[in-house]
Amino acid sequence: MSRLALLLIIIPTLVFSQSRKKKALLEEMSFSIEPNVRVMKAIGDNSMNKALSPFVGFGIGGILHIYKNFGLTAEYNYMTANLSQDNQGGLFGYMSAATMHNVEFSGVYNYNMSETVNLEGLAGASIYRVSSKFIDKGGKFNEGNSGFHIGGKILYTLDREGVQQVVFGTKLNYYTASIRNQNPDIEKFYSKAWFLNFSAAYRINF
């Protein structure tokens, strides 16, 4: 009888304790949206740097602040780049402006420096889709690739409630494509690239 009474005390206590922890976690969670403009420039000895001008475009992202200063983000960006005048008809043939669709998923850590300034560090996976049209022979050039990124942001809060923030960010993006060639130098030149990524955004916190 005493064991039954003990179980009747312990089980509700555990259930209540877990429900309180779950409620506290949900209360800490919040959400933000972040429209942005950005410039992404390839660096080093690779086809993206030699053949294309910097990618310029815009995007939108969402941030789920999960626990304390940690969160998760998802972001979509649309950018365009012109073929370099020095490489018209060279590396890729005669093409129109290239477009890039970029989707990124990141883990985020937010550090509060002051009442108005925050720093964020982020790292995650990237998906790229580059496409263009061949002007001289018709048809399309399409390339879907993956990679990763690492970077940081500085946030300046505009109001006392902390709802509106201006965000400036920089990232290092790694791009890799499924291109094979018997010459490893040629394969590396066309299939891998590093990008410097600069952005300005307006964040709304809910």
Q: What is the mean pLDDT of the chain?
A: 83
Quick check: 101 pLDDT over 80? yes
d(CA 84, CA 79): 16
pLDDT band at 51; cut points 50, 70, 90: confident
Q: Which of the given ranges, 7-11, 12-16, 179-183, has the highest pLDDT on average? A: 179-183
Quick check: 163 pLDDT over 60? yes
Both structure tokens of 23:
């409620």
pLDDT band at 181; cut points 50, 70, 90: confident
Amino acid at 194: W
Q: Quick one: how far is CA 102 from the chain centroid? A: 8
Report CA Rg, the chain.
24
